[in-house]
Structure 1
Amino acid sequence: MLFQLKSYFNFLLKSQNQHGLHSPFVYDLVTKCFYNKNEHKAYKLIKDYRNNLLGNKNRISVTDFGAGSRVFRSNERPVFSIAKNAGITLHRAKLLYRLTNYLKVDTALELGTSLGIASSAIAAKKNTKLITIEGCPKTAKIAGQQFEKFDLNNIELRVNKFDAEMDALIQENQKFDLIYFDGNHQKQATLDYFNQLLPTAHNDSVFIFDDIHWSSEMEEAWEEIKKHPKVQVTIDTFQWGLVFFRKEQVKQHFNIRV
């Protein structure tokens, strides 16, 4: 916790809002998407989906393949508590929807479904086809039930280890407009996933990495990703790191408060 507080303080010192952004692409993204105050119809679906989970008192046994939890001491966890403490917040779920909508995302991939709150935000744009991968069968089962309950028929849920599914996606020559990385907050795994999924990106794709300031190792992974020759523009929002590959852009890195 102390590490994250220090990281956040450093982020605030370097961060900016829309003022002084000299990249037209990033300026438009920040003003028209990040800071968009409109009440989108899709917000109701996302809110209802999340609230439904917050009312679920059932307990499940979670299989954790990532860096583990800072909140839970046991793998036996109530569903509402996972949704509250480990799930994406409503604020960020709305932003994820706005990004999907603003960037006109048709195909998306998510590593780490959990209970599917972020999935619902992406798939709230109904013509977006989302493939989401979850390693834990119990959380995936809850997510699958939620997708049916909320008629999210544009989501394909794959229950498997990430590596196997990523290999399959590459074999299928899949291309994604958006990839949301939220399944393993460890340096090497993050870098491996990034490199493994690079062939699925195109010029206008965006990669979104969750919890880039989770630990010093995750910050190191983020710095390495920023330096990759195929990466042109990055945006650090503290919680997320957004990566763009747009060859027409000058290589630039931004820290934006959202």
Structure 2
Amino acid sequence: MSVFSQAFDYLQYRLRALKLHGVHSPFIFQLYQNVILDKEKYESYTSVEALRKELLQDKRKINVTDFGAGSKVTNQRERSINEIARNSAKPAKYSQLLYRLVQHFKPNTVFELGTSLGITTSYLAKANSEVNIYTFEGCPAIAQTAKANFEQLNLANINQVIGNLDHTLAKQLQPIKQLDFVFFDGNHRYEPTMRYFEACLTRHHEDSVFVMDDIYWSDEMKQAWESIKQHPQVRQTVDLYFIGLVFFRTTQPKEHFTLAY
């Protein structure tokens, strides 16, 4: 997608986005006020951001296996750790939002489709030491680096699943009774995104929370986001531009919100 298209999409988003007092759903209003707009600097943020700073200075090179849509920045197989941290790791603003969402909704089982270097995974794990995190990564070299990062932060509630998500997701879903929280960041193409979404739907429940990453990353991701919004099992969605929140609360009317963030 061109820079012009991205700028146009962002402008359209800003024009549509509501502020707090424009939200009339009590559930979304409380979520927006107490979680999304929460400015508190939680203690857990410090150690993860210190790790991010280390990774941004790490010039070691690894061979990358990419099963997704690839990078917008480079197609080279050999990449440095700092390059991956700079281009693939979720910015602090959105990683910390995921932390607050897990704190707020208190899920028992979390799936993260796309580990990368484990920055976002670490935020998810630190939000609740009792939650079971299953993080999926296709590239063994990146997964090994992430494992070292988890050990550095003394995170013991993370289960790594390594391999092509087309195969590992279905296998890992089999023993899971229900999915409480899923962060989709494993592929940025329409067909795989929708396939993973449908697979995870087989384990969703009334209070599940699905988070879609990079919903404006490409035309295919925009198409996927529109399909998810219209899905018959989806009840509420929240467009925050870089990520989208999906809820399944049948007690609430079907509504779609675009909120300034």
TM tier, smaller: over 0.9
1:172 corresponds to which residue? 175
1:144 corresponds to which residue? 147
Are positions 1:183 and 2:186 aligned together? Answer: yes
How do 1:95-244 and structure 2 match up within 5 A?
95-125=97-127, 126-244=129-247
Task: Work out the CA distance in 2 between the residues paired with 1:93 and 1:167.
Answer: 26
2:49 corresponds to which residue? 47
Aligned-residue sequence identity (percent) comes to 40
TM-superposed CA distance for 1:4, in Å, is 1.3
3-state DSSP of counterpart to 2:99:
helix
TM-superposed CA distance for 1:165, in Å, is 2.0
Task: Work out the CA distance in 1 between the residues paired with 2:108 and 2:173.
Answer: 18
2:93 corresponds to which residue? 91
TM-superposed CA distance for 1:93, in Å, is 1.2
TM-superposed CA distance for 1:174, in Å, is 3.5
TM-superposed CA distance for 1:163, in Å, is 2.4
How do 1:9-88 and structure 2 match up within 5 A?
9-88=11-90
Structure 1 counterpart of 2:173, one-letter code? I
Q: Which moved more, 1:49-58 or 1:238-247?
A: 49-58
Q: List, as ranges, runs of 4+ consecutive aligned residues in structure 1 with deviation greater than 2 Å.
A: none
Task: Work out the CA distance in 2 between the residues paired with 1:69 and 1:164.
Answer: 22
Q: Report if the CA contact (8 A) 1:46-1:124 is conserved.
A: no
TM-superposed CA distance for 1:199, in Å, is 1.1
Residues 178-198 of structure 1 deviation map (CA, whole Å, 9 limit, x = unaligned): 100001000111111111110
Task: Work out the CA distance in 2 between the residues paired with 1:208 and 1:12.
Answer: 20
Aligned residues: 258
Q: Report if the CA contact (8 A) 1:87-1:114 is conserved.
A: yes
Q: Report if the CA contact (8 A) 1:45-1:124 is conserved.
A: no
3-state DSSP of counterpart to 1:175:
coil
Q: Report if the CA contact (8 A) 2:178-2:203 is conserved.
A: yes
1:5 corresponds to which residue? 7
Task: Work out the CA distance in 2 between the residues paired with 1:206 and 1:123.
Answer: 16
Task: Work out the CA distance in 2 between the residues paired with 1:29 and 1:250.
Answer: 16
Q: Which moved more, 1:83-92 or 1:168-177?
A: 168-177
Residues 60-114 of structure 1 deviation map (CA, whole Å, 9 limit, x = unaligned): 1111111111112412111011111111111111111111111112210001101
Q: Report if the CA contact (8 A) 2:179-2:200 is conserved.
A: no
**Where does the alignment leave 5 or more consecutive residues of structure 2 unmatched?**
none
TM-superposed CA distance for 1:58, in Å, is 0.4
TM-superposed CA distance for 1:246, in Å, is 0.7
TM-superposed CA distance for 1:151, in Å, is 0.7
TM-superposed CA distance for 1:55, in Å, is 2.4
Q: Report if the CA contact (8 A) 1:87-1:115 is conserved.
A: yes
Task: Work out the CA distance in 2 between the residues paired with 1:163 and 1:174.
Answer: 20
Q: Which moved more, 1:123-132 or 1:27-36?
A: 123-132
Q: What do you get for the CA RMSD once the two structures are aligned?
A: 1.1
TM-score by length of 2: 0.96
TM-score by length of 1: 0.97
Q: Report if the CA contact (8 A) 2:121-2:135 is conserved.
A: yes
